[in-house]
């Protein structure tokens, strides 16, 4: 395990980012369950990947291992980020920033001009990440999280653009 951690640490600055596939769900679910008090179900991810034309999900991989993921819906000119998580052992290495950046780039390429998301009021680490990427707080959804009754901050990033090729 120590060797695996060393390899991950060396490669964490350059994870491969690719589209999430159904066969990724075992690893995604392990990260999901370690990251959220009320995780999404495997069935929810299957529906997102198979039945939702607006859904776009990415994974970050180091070698063959999935170490993070994120997802969004792109409807007309808006990307709504639905989820973002990094494996607990890999946090603090910039992987969340890489996944978020890839989502924003993909959204812009799909025609989105702005991005929105909700984040728990208590999740200061995620809020700092979003602010670094240009998101600002636009409002509050009171008691949004049904598991705890916690408020969600509504954050938005305007004027996203595709990266020139």
Phi and psi angles of residue 45, each rounded to the nearest 5 degrees, phi first? -65, -40
Return the active site residues. 118, 130
Distances, alpha carbon 38 to alpha carbons 26, 125, 149, 150, in Å:
17, 18, 12, 13
**Residue for token digits 């950046």?**
101
- Residue 58 tokens read as 């990415």
State the Cα–Cα distance between residues 150 and 40, nearest whole angstrom: 17
């Amino acid at each position: 395990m120590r060797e695996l951690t060393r390899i991950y640490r060396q490669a964490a600055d350059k994870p491969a980012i690719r589209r999430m596939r159904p066969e990724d769900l075992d690893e995604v679910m392990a990260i999901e369950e370690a990251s959220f008090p009320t995780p999404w179900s495997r069935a929810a991810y299957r529906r997102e990947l198979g039945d939702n034309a607006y859904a776009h999900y990415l994974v970050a991989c180091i070698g063959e291992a999935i170490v993070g993921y994120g997802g969004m819906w792109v409807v007309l000119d808006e990307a709504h980020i639905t989820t973002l998580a990094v494996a607990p052992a890999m946090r603090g290495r910039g992987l969340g920033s890489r996944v978020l950046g890839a989502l924003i780039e993909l959204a812009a390429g799909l025609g989105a001009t702005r991005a929105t998301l909700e984040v728990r009021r208590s999740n200061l680490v995620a809020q700092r990440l979003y602010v670094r990427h240009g998101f600002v707080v636009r409002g509050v959804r009171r008691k949004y999280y049904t598991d705890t009754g916690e408020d969600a901050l509504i954050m938005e990033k305007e004027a996203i653009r595709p990266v020139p090729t």
